[in-house]
Amino acid sequence: MVVVSSTFSQPVEGILLQTPSTKLFVNDQELGTATLYITESNVVWGGGVRPSGVAAPAISLLYPSISLHAVQRDPSPALYMVLNYELRIPELAQPATGGGDTNEDDDDEFDADDQPITQLRFVPQSEGDLQAMYSAMSQGQALHPDPTDEVDEDDPYMDGEEFDECEEQFEDAMDSSGAPAGSEEEAAARLRHLHLDRTNGTHPADEEEDADISDQ
């Protein structure tokens, strides 16, 4: 979930990092300069101004809406994020759609599912703050793991129940020969069932043929 608001309430709990004078670029368009708060529950940018000097909107991001975060060096050192959400801010021009060259549009369609995304760049006043920003983001993200990555403890394939059942059925099939499991009698019974002889892997028909030759 992403919330854009004209009012700003400073976070007071669970703050992992607070970075003042942080510029925010939304899809390469500068929104303004404000304080970045990385907390245990969300990421908030607010209390700042736009390049024109008017108040900038506050933005609150919940961790599940952030699909990627990384340190970016080019075009300027920044904390880079990708949202699985199309962030629309009236103050910013929206990318033009339609009416353009077809080949150019095809080149931009890098997402097979055509899922809308938003790219954010948080540029701190000091490049030395980048590592702390990344570490705080990683810490907050770890508190909100992706549900699809969690292991279902009730999954029978994870606790071996299915394999146990197969093993029990296999043992029952072996016991049906009438010989104790693992005994030589059982092995012999299985070989006889397969019409094979235990000596040197020869077929009984081969031995009878050898006997006929020796009698001659």
Would you state the pLDDT for residue 122? 98
The pLDDT value given to residue 155: 52
Contact 85, 65 (CB under 8 A): yes
User: Which CATH architecture does the domain made up of 2-149 adopt?
Assistant: Roll (2.30)
Per-residue pLDDT of the chain (216 residues; tens, 9 = 90+): 789 999 999 999 999 999 999 999 999 999 999 999 999 999 999 999 999 999 999 999 999 999 999 999 988 999 999 999 888 887 676 654 444 444 444 444 444 456 789 999 999 999 999 999 999 999 999 999 877 655 555 554 444 444 455 555 545 544 444 445 455 666 566 656 555 444 444 444 444 544 454 455
pLDDT for 116 equals 85
Amino acid at the residue 155? D
pLDDT value of residue 1: 79
**pLDDT at residue 164 in the model:** 52
> pLDDT at position 118, please?
94
> Which pLDDT value is given to residue 56?
94
What residue ranges do the domains of the chain occupy?
2-149, 156-215
pTM for the predicted model, two decimal places: 0.62
Question: HEC string of the chain?
Answer: CEEEECCCCCCCCCEEEEEEEEEEEECCEEEEEEEEEEECCEEEEEEEECCCCCECCEEEEEHHHEEEEEEECCCCCEEEEEECCCCCCCCCCCCCCCCCCHHHHHHHCCCCCCCCCEEEEEECCCHHHHHHHHHHHHHHHHCCCCHHHCCCCCCHHHHCHHHHHHHHHHHHHHHCCCCCCCCHHHHHHHHHHCCCCCCCCCCHHHHHHHHHHHHC
- To which residue do tokens 């990555």 refer? 149
